[in-house]
Amino acid sequence: MLNIILFGAPGSGKGTQSAYISKEYGLHHLSTGEVLRAEIATGSALGKKIDALISKGNLVPDDMMLGVIENYIANLPKECKGTIFDGYPRTVAQAEAFTNLLKKYQMSALMIDLMVDEQLLIQRLVDRGKVSGRADDTLNTIRHRIAVYHTQTEPVAEYYLHQGNYFAINGNYSADDVFPQIKRIVDRFALNK
Ligand code: AP5
Ligand code: MG
């Protein structure tokens, strides 16, 4: 089973590259942001709590995210070739819990980190904000999301670097030019397994 953690700041291209990877390798795509936005769309009490956090650019609690991931992994169909985890783990506590969870199912994951310059991140998200309807795609919230990324999420890269299954790529190019870099890493990893 090939599990990929697609890591990177808001706007780094996690969702875009997940679509390319999923098509190329037939992997499932789990975007925790999409899962949370789907819950908000139901209008449930839980969705309202999540909305209050996401729309300000803050993370939802670790235990809630772990519940989502546990539920996902416990219900994976037998024929699943692997998953792209887009937006998880996002804190060191999530990374530690994820390692334990994968171990329980005798699975592992590699991390691919999409490195993109901050000005470009902001530009991409401001541009998307004109059409996306995402509550968190406004300039102030974009800036806050990036700050949250630096303080709470970036240390997760270090965690995977120490584990030896971390790969960084330059995500500043066009989406078509970023994907071949990912493909090289995934092909090499799959070959050595
Ligand atoms: P999430 O939905 O994951 O948002 P994000 O991390 O802020 O990232 P985005 O989805 O905005 O960007 P992306 O990296 O997917 O880039 P994309 O391909 O879309 O999370 C939202 C919120 O949910 C979080 O803030 C948090 O509150 C909560 N949450 C989620 N997971 C959580 C967790 N594990 N724990 C706690 N809370 C959690 O591209 C962006 C734009 O750029 C698009 O318009 C795209 O077309 C364009 N683009 C992409 N690639 C390129 C390229 N190479 N060149 C030019 N344009 C490009
Ligand atoms: Mg995304």
- Summarised one tens digit per residue, pLDDT across range 95-132 is 999 999 999 999 999 999 999 999 999 999 999 999 99
**Shortest-distance Cα residue to atom 23 of ligand 1:** 33
The confidence score (pLDDT) of residue 160 equals 97
pLDDT in tens, 5-36: 999 999 999 999 999 999 999 999 999 999 99
For residue 192, how far is its CA from the centre of ligand 1 (angstroms)? 30
Q: Average per-residue pLDDT in the chain? A: 96
- Strands across the sheet with 166-170, in order? 28-31, 83-86, 4-8, 110-115, 166-170
What's the CATH class of domain 4-191?
Answer: alpha beta
- Fill in the amino acid letter for 54: I
Ligand 1 pocket residue status of 11, Cβ below 6 Å: yes
Alpha-carbon dihedral angle through residues 192, 153, 22, 12, given to the nearest 10 degrees: -110
pLDDT at 193 (0 to 100): 67
Closest-CA residue to 91 (of 162, 150, 35, 49)? 150
Query: How would residue 180 be classed by pLDDT, with cut points 50, 70 and 90?
Result: very high
Q: Is the CB of 106 under 6 A from ligand 1?
A: no
Would the CB of 13 count as within 6 Å of ligand 1? yes
Residue 189: its pLDDT value, please? 85
Pocket test for ligand 1, best of 34, 37, 124 (most atoms within 8 A of CB): 124
Asked if residue 191 has pLDDT above 80, the reply is no
The whole model's pTM is what? Answer: 0.97
Q: What is the DSSP letter of 43?
A: T
- pLDDT confidence of 192, banded at 50, 70, 90? confident
